[in-house]
Amino acid sequence: MGSDLFDPEDIKGLIAKQEKWSQGRKGNVIKAYTLWLKMHGLKWEPPKYKPIQKIPFLPTEAEIDSLIAGSSLQMSTFIQLLKETAVRCGEAYKLQWIDINFENNTARITPEKGSNPRQFKLSNKLIAMINRLPKTSTQVFTYKGMYNLRKIFSRQRKRIAAKLGNPRILLIHFHTLRHWRATMEYHKTRDLLHVMQFLGHRSIKTTLRYTQLIAFADDEYTCKVADNVDQAKQLVESGFDYVTDIDGHRLFRKRK
């Protein structure tokens, strides 16, 4: 190299001294330096840094719904779509009007990252939100690129967290909703294959990183009673599950 400026031992020491770097970041720097050496026909014995596996943050459904309720129409529709389908933000961003069948309330998802294509049944609530969006483009969401979308989301999230006095809302990202939905699907079905297909994964090993056996608060439920078909229909559309009939009343429940 003509100089010891990039001596591998110096690089090892430099990386080791970065106390603010995560294990994963150190590993990425090592990969980049290894590629740089390869380009110059050189090799080294790279140090090994194993990323620390952390359980991703999972908000409560109430916190997600608060974020949806406080956002603009287009943003709230985008977040509701992620909540219901667990699609990647890039997949949701590319959704076109022709992908939505308003007769049977379904949406086709064009996959990213080598995933499988999927089709989802959308709730009446989400369909109504989508129908309120202006049809000024072939795409349902008209943000000027993903950077613009993320910037607007960050601004609205910050405002809502401050208004509600809940800093946990600041921890919600688009991908958080994918983790949340995957976890809820697994908790509800205990079927890992179903979750794999729901997320569009080709390998069940990938799905294992998204599902967590978290401790739900003793499986606490919100209970509602329906006295007629219309009330029962509204509860089902809101995510409540039928439990039983008691004295002529239908009892429904939904996890808190």
The tens digit of pLDDT for each residue in 2-45 reads 444 567 888 888 888 888 888 888 888 888 889 988 888 888 88
**Cα separation values, 109 from 76, 99, 217, 233, 249, Å:** 19, 7, 33, 27, 39
> Residue 236's CB: how many other CB atoms inside 10 A?
15
Separation of alpha carbons 120 and 122, rounded Å:
6
What pLDDT is stored for residue 4 in this prediction? 47
Average pLDDT over residues 146-172: 97
The pLDDT > 70 percentage for the chain reads 92
Distance, C-alpha 166 to centroid of its chain: 20
Contacts of range 7-16, beta carbons closer than 8 Å, 24 or more positions apart: 8/37, 8/44, 8/45, 11/44, 12/47, 15/47, 16/47
Residue 154 C-beta-side C-alpha neighbours within 13 Å: 6
What pLDDT is stored for residue 147 in this prediction? 96
> Residue 79's CB: how many other CB atoms inside 10 A?
25
Question: Domains of the chain: which residue ranges?
Answer: 1-53, 61-208, 221-255
What fold is seen in the domain 61-208? hpI Integrase; Chain A (1.10.443)
Mean pLDDT of the chain, nearest integer:
88
Task: Give the pair of three-digit tokens for residue 102.
Answer: 């308003």
The tens digit of pLDDT for each residue in 194-209 reads 889 999 988 888 888 7
By CB atoms closer than 10 A (0-12, 13-18, 19+), residue 130 is: buried
Q: What is the 3-state secondary structure (H, E, C) of the chain?
A: CCCHHHCHHHHHHHHHCCCCCCHHHHHHHHHHHHHHHHHCCCCCCCCCCCCCCCCCCCCCHHHHHHHHHHCCHHHHHHHHHHHHHCCCHHHHHCCEHHHEECCCCEEEECCCCCCCCEEEECCHHHHHHHHCCCCCCCECCCCCCHHHHHHHHHHHHHHHHHHHCCHHHHHCCHHHHHHHHHHHHHHHHCCHHHHHHHHCCCCHHHHHCCCCCCCCCCCCEEEEEECCHHHHHHHHHCCCEEEEEECCEEEEEEEC
Confidence of residue 214 (pLDDT cuts 50, 70, 90): low
Between residues 158 and 55, the one the model is more confident about: 158
What pLDDT is stored for residue 1 in this prediction? 44
Separation of alpha carbons 101 and 122, rounded Å:
10
Type of residue numbered 28: N
Query: At 223, phi and psi to the nearest 5?
Result: -110, 140
